Structures are given as C-alpha cells and as structure tokens.
Structure 1
Amino acid sequence: MQAGTVLDGRYQLIEAIGAGGFGQVWKAHDPKVDRLVAVKVLTGDGSADSSQQSARFAREAAVAGSLSHPHIVTVHDFGSAMHDGRLHAYLVMELLRGKPLSAVLKDGRLPLPDAVRTAVCIADALGTAHGAGLTHRDIKPSNIIVRPNGQATVVDFGITKSSDERHDITTSGVLIGTPAYMAPECFTGTFDHRSDLYSLGCVLYEMLTGHQPFTGNSWHLINQHLNEQPAPLLKVRPAIPPELATLVKRLLAKNPDDRPSDAFEVILTLRKIDRRYYDEDSPSHGPDRYVRSAVSPQIAALRCSRRAWSCPQSQASQIRRQAMVTRAS
C-alpha cells in the first residue's frame, strides 16, 4: 500500500499513521460522505495466521460496531479488497485526533488529575462493553487514544471475548493479550470482566508512576502477575491520595473476587477522588498537592481544563455566578 491508493474503489489512502504486526493504519478520505477516516489494512499472505487475523478484523468490526459510546472508537465499515494481486481485509474507523497513551507516557508519569480522569474514560468504556457481555482482554496504553481535549478513547476490540461462543475466534492454548497488562487468571485461560479491571489497574499504575507495575520478559511477567506485588504507590509517589492508592491495590488484586465488582464501581470511586482533590468547584475540594509547574508542554497540550463529567457542575457554578452579578447590578 502507498499514499494515493484507492481501496475498494472508495477509500483513498493519504498517509500511514500507525503500524503493527497486523499491517498498517492509514489516514484516508471517504468521498462518499466526504470525511477523513482511519483505515486499518491487514497485510495478508493467505496463510492460516492471515486467516485468523482476518477473523479478528471481522470480529472487531462486529464488536466495536455494536457499541455506541463517546470513549469507544466508532467503526464505520469493514470489507476486503484486491491490491497488487493480494486480498487485503480492511477496517474503517473514525479518525481519532490525539496520541496513544503509550506515546504520552514516554514523557513520564501523568499529572494526578489527568491520570484520574483518563482512568474514568477507560472505565466508562469498559462498563459499556461489559454491560453488552464483552470483555476487551487487551487494555493497555497503546490501545487508548488521548484526544486533544483530554478525553480518552478505547480502541482495538479485535480479541474481545463475547458471551456468545459462536463469535469467539481465539485458539485454546494460545496466550491472548499483552503479558505486561494481563490479569493472573488469564494465564490459565479463565477470565471475565474483572480481568479487564486488573488491566486498567496496570494502566493506572503506569499513569501514576511512569512505569509498569511489573517488568521483564514474558516469563518474568507471568510469575510477577501470579505471585508478586508491585512497589507500593505511596512510596513511589507520596502525593497520591490514599483513596487512589487503595483503589489501584484493589484493581491489582490477584483474586478477581477481591477486585471492584464492576467498572461502574471504579468510576464512582474515581469521581469521588476527583471531586475531593482536584475539582476546584467542589465544596469538598481538599488540598491539591499536584505541582502545576511540573507539567510538561507535551502533556499540557493534551490536557482539558474541565472534563465531560465535571461540565454540568461547572456550568451550574457559572450560572450561579452570573445570577449573583445580575442581582448585584
């Protein structure tokens, strides 16, 4: 594939914006509705592995296409097309402006409010997916896009596990997921929605500290997930609110029964922490120990001064202030 290629007689590829073992992601133009889109193109060779990847593409289109949520990528189309004598599967998604969380984290740990609010976005997306009977199974920074307004969007539902076994395209005995972010039970092939919460705990730990809870090769990671505890958050970053450290510890519990019951419990806890420590409009706002001068220009460019879940409260505060000015005049 190259810039200028018209895929399936419709999608004109503009520039490559990502790559992986599956192929490439292209910025493209869809003239039918005159919009820019992201097209994930599978580089197939006709092998069994290629067929499996094509099945993943179809699975991702079916799963993500069935979910409508502001923090889940929107899928527009799916198909296959011939190019240079080879058949390529492709997936057309909304073009997300922003950066993968993995790229943001290369600049170091996030400011505490940003970490909390990004985690809310992820948990919100997971709550919707779990409510639809879907387990993502590959929550990690590279599958989370941080938008210019500070919001985060979850992508890549290619290995999602459904309660409908007819649509499960995974293979018994094959490790599914990314070891650095996998829950202990996943290594024995048993998992449910709480496995995603463990992965969220790993991502939140990394956002707060700047490094993964466990490191090493695959075998080291498996042993650590199964038997070891990460360095305590309050020792790594003492400014972290105790409630947040407790939540991360629960998310990273080895036993799924010791984790929060669902994503919405996680959201409620995170929002309480946000209101108490970081929401300046909240009457319960406590001491904000976040040093704003330490924000890097890269992270500051991706920050949002007020997130979606605090907008109603901010608007209410603005209305009250306007009313006071009106009465005074």
Structure 2
Amino acid sequence: MEPIGTGGFGQVWKAHDPKVDRTVAVKVLTGAGGLEGSQQVARFAREAAVAGGLSHFCIVTIHDFGSALHDGQMFAYLVMEFLPGKSLSTVLEAGPLDMGKTLTTASCVTDALDAAHRAGLTHRDIKPSNIMLLPDGPAKVVDFGITKGSDDRHDITATGILIGTPAYMAPECFSGTFDHRSDLYSLGCVLYEMLAGRRPFDGTSWHLVHQHLHEQPPPLLSLRPDTPPELNDLVTRLLAKDPSDRPQSAEEVWAIIGDIGDRHFSEAPPRRGRDIASEVRLSRDEAADGTVIVLRIVGPKPCPDCGTAQAGVQNPASCSACDGSGEIKEKRSVKVRIPAGVREGQQLRLKGLGAPGTNGGQAGNLYVTVQVGR
C-alpha cells in the first residue's frame, strides 16, 4: 500500500485487492475531525451506503466497507475505485482551466448531481478537492459522507457544527436550510474558480459566511474576458443568493452547459439554417391596410435523435428518424405582420423565421409570396 491522499476524516491509500486482482483506493478513518468517534464511523458508513447505491460513470464506485483490527486498534475503512488522476483542487493550483476542460468537467459534475438528486440526495460538499479529473475519461465526484437524504434518520450532522466547506456553501446552508439547489450554488462556486483561477469569495470562515450571505463576487468577465455571455449568465444564476433565482435542477444546468459547448466550442463550424418559402392569400382590404396572420409552415429542423446535423455529415445507418440526413420535418405556426400596400405577387422576406441554424449558426429566412384575392 502507498498513501495517495489525506483529509480531515481519513487517509487514502492505493492498494491491491487480491480477491479480484485489481487496484483499489482504501480510505481509512483517522483523527477526530470535530465529531465523536461513533459519528465518524456513521459518516463512513453513510458514504459507503450512499455512493454504493448510485451507479453512475461520474460518481466514484464503492466496493466494500468494514472495520479491521491493527496494532490493537480498530479502524473503519472504505474500499473504492482507484482513480488514476488528480483532484481538481490540485490542477487549479496551476491556474484556471481552458474553456473546453471547464465545460467538460462541469458537465460531468452536473450529471453526477442529477443522478444523486433524482435519488433524493443532496451532496452538500461539492468543491474542487471532491472532484477527480481522470487523464482519459470523465471527471468523477467523490466523498458522499455528509450527504443529506430525504430520510432524516440518516442525517448525521451534529448540533453546532458547520457541515460543509464555507468557501463553497450556499447562503441558506449557514442557517441549516438546504436542498438540491444548494449543490447547484456550490457548483457555481467551482465553475467560477475553474474560469477565474480564484474562488468567488476568500477569507476566514465567518468572513466567508458574510460574503456568501450579502456580497457579490468580482465580475467574472473582468477576470476571464473570453467567457461566453451564456456561461457568464449561468454562473451568475448559480450564485444567486435566493435558491428560487437559481436553475431549479441539475438537469437544466447540464442542458445549458451542453448547449454552450455545442454553440461555442464544437469542432463543427456554425451553419446557417435553410430558407423557407411559403404563400399567403389576402383580401384586397388586408393588402391595402396591412394585417397580422398566422402561417402554418413545414420546414427542416435538426434531428433531435442524432448528431449528424451538428457534425455536418450524413450517415444513413446512424439514425432511423432522419435516415442520416440530419434533419426532420417540423410543423410550426408563425405570426406574421403584413405591411400595408402589398401587391399581387410581391415577395416578403422575414429574417430569422426559416429553419434554425446549428452550432450557433443563424436561422434562415422565410420568404412569403403574396396573392391578393378579388
């Protein structure tokens, strides 16, 4: 065995499990950490039960939990998947991440949180040291030891003890009120740090509490000017003091991050949507005075079941919904204002009402040919 990490509640060792011939990480309970010994063991047991019950590629896999006697002393231990990478906190010591790595990491953490939240669990300690970056794989969330579930019988917090890491805690957590949106605030702190290379707030514990409750962090764009506006807006929403002003689910955040990645950092270039042609029949009075009509049009739309539209390629074998064209037919209604004085056969160009673009490309135009009745 060789040591690979330490924390307030344990040491982590790299070891070999001869039963299944695999390399594992063994977390051994050590130190008081501010809690009574029985509560420490309960924290370990909770981490084993919670993380062990979550099967997700962005959450560390738990293999075993138990206790063993060594040199006359009983030790609790947790056997988990060995992650051959570095913690995000270690990586951030060298400065902010590039934009692509930031989005990839945030997407993995958000996906892991979505799985936990769907299971009725709040992590409560999302921070860089609990996020592992693998050299050739997704980021993984670790340490579910202070997770809060919907069953209060499993809550092991102690009265008068601040549970979590103040630099990443949501304002409501300091009064003991939290839910899944508190994890999203912590994610906002981590996302800010990945982009800016510094935490949104710094200082002593109680100074941090005041800042989270009452102050705003330095503007992200002043520290990372190349941040896409949509990403800046997302971080701002995640760091909202009021939980109701934040995104309401990890799934929503995951979708936003994916859209930002596709729009700004996809390898495929932006593509403008197709133009669409339609006709409209007006009475003489409508043509003379102008009117507002509703057009029902059919036009192409990027196929939601495959990535061919984003990649700009055709692969008939890849998708039965669009036969590899990357597009499907979409029926939609469009409200159109017809100006006064239009003539028979006149063609109106309505910018941006055609087919939607891909990878941030502009939408096409809608060309409407006017026919005037008698």
Q: Normalising by structure 1, report the TM-score.
A: 0.82
**Structure 2, unpaired ranges of 5+:** 273-305, 318-374
Say whether the 8 Å CA contact 1:275–1:282 is kept in structure 2. Answer: no
Contact 1:44 1:87 in 2 (8 A): no
> Which residue is 2:206 aligned to?
219
Deviation, 1:213, is 0.1
The CA distance in 1 between the partners of 2:202 and 2:73, in whole Å, is 39
Residue of structure 2 equivalent to 1:276: 263
Query: Counting strand residues as a fraction of each chain, which structure ranks higher?
Result: 2
1:29–1:37 CA contact under 8 A, matched in 2: yes
Out of 101, 104, 107, the residue aligned to residue 120 of structure 1 is: 107
Write the mapping of 1:196-275 to structure 2, written as runs, cut at 5 A. Answer: 196-275=183-262
Mapped to 1, the partners of 2:201 and 2:113 lie a distance apart of 23
CA 1:69–1:217 in 2, change beyond 3 Å: closer, same or farther? same
Q: 1:175 aligns with which of 162, 177, 182?
A: 162
Mapped to 1, the partners of 2:312 and 2:228 lie a distance apart of: 28
Counterpart of 1:290 in structure 2 is none
Q: Deviations over 1:224-258 (max 9, x none)?
A: 00000001111211110000000000000000000
Matching residue of 1:101: 88
Q: Deviations over 1:279-320 (max 9, x none)?
A: 1126459xxxxxxxxxxxxxxxxxxxxxxxxxx748995974
1:143 maps to a residue whose letter is N
SS in 1 for 2:27: strand
Paired with 1:207 and 1:180, the residues of 2 have a C-alpha distance of: 14
Which has the larger helix fraction? 1
Instruction: Please state if 1:144 is matched with 2:106.
Output: no
Q: Which amino acid counterpart does residue 105 of structure 1 have in structure 2?
A: L
Residue in 2 that maps onto 1:18? 5
Match of 2:117 among 130, 148, 153: 130
- Alignment of 1:85 with 2:72, yes or no, is yes
Match of 2:180 in 1: 193
SS of 1:91's equivalent?
strand
Tell me, yes or no, if the aligned pair for 2:8 and 2:31 is still in contact at 8 Å: no
Quick check: 1:281–1:314 contact (8 Å CA) kept in 2?
no
3-state DSSP class of the match of 1:266? helix
Q: Distance in 2 between matches of 1:81 and 1:314?
A: 54
Query: What displacement does 1:322 show?
Result: 11
Q: Distance in 1 between matches of 2:312 and 2:229?
A: 31
| CA–CA distance in structure 2, aligned partners of residues 25 and 189 of structure 1 | 30
Matched letter for residue 35 of structure 1: R
Correspondences of 1:4-15 after superposition (within 5 Å): 14-15=1-2
- The aligned residue for residue 55 of structure 1 is 42
- 8 Å contact 2:96–2:194 — kept in the other structure? yes
2:335 paired residue number:
none
Checking the alignment, whether the CA contact within 8 Å between 1:276 and 1:284 is kept in structure 2 is no
| One-letter amino acid of the structure 1 residue matched with residue 132 of structure 2 | I
In structure 2, the CA distance between the partners of 1:282 and 1:192, relative to structure 1 (3 Å rule), is farther
CA distance in 2, matches of 1:277, 1:315: 16
Q: Under a length normalisation based on structure 2, what TM-score does the superposition of the two structures give?
A: 0.72
For residues 265 and 66 of structure 1, the distance between their equivalents in structure 2, rounded to whole angstroms, comes to: 23
CA distance in 2, matches of 1:315, 1:71: 27
In the alignment of these two chains, the number of paired residues is 283
Decide whether aligned partners of structure 1 residues 156 and 314 sit closer, same or farther in structure 2, where only a CA change above 3 A counts.
farther
- RMSD between superposed Cα atoms in Å: 2.2
Structure whose CA Rg is larger: 2
Per-residue Cα deviation, 1:85-138 (whole angstroms, up to 9, x for no partner)? 000000000001110000000010000111111100000000000000000000
Paired amino acid for 1:204: L
Farther-moved stretch of structure 1 (170-179 vs 89-98): 170-179
What corresponds to 2:349 in structure 1?
none
Q: Secondary structure at the match of 1:26?
A: strand
Structure 1 residues 284, 152: closer, same or farther in 2, change over 3 A?
farther
Q: Which amino acid is 2:228 matched to?
A: P
For the residues of structure 1 that align with 2:167 and 2:159, how far apart are their CA atoms?
20
**What is the one-letter code of the residue matched to 2:219?**
P
Distance apart, 1:74 and its partner CA: 0.4
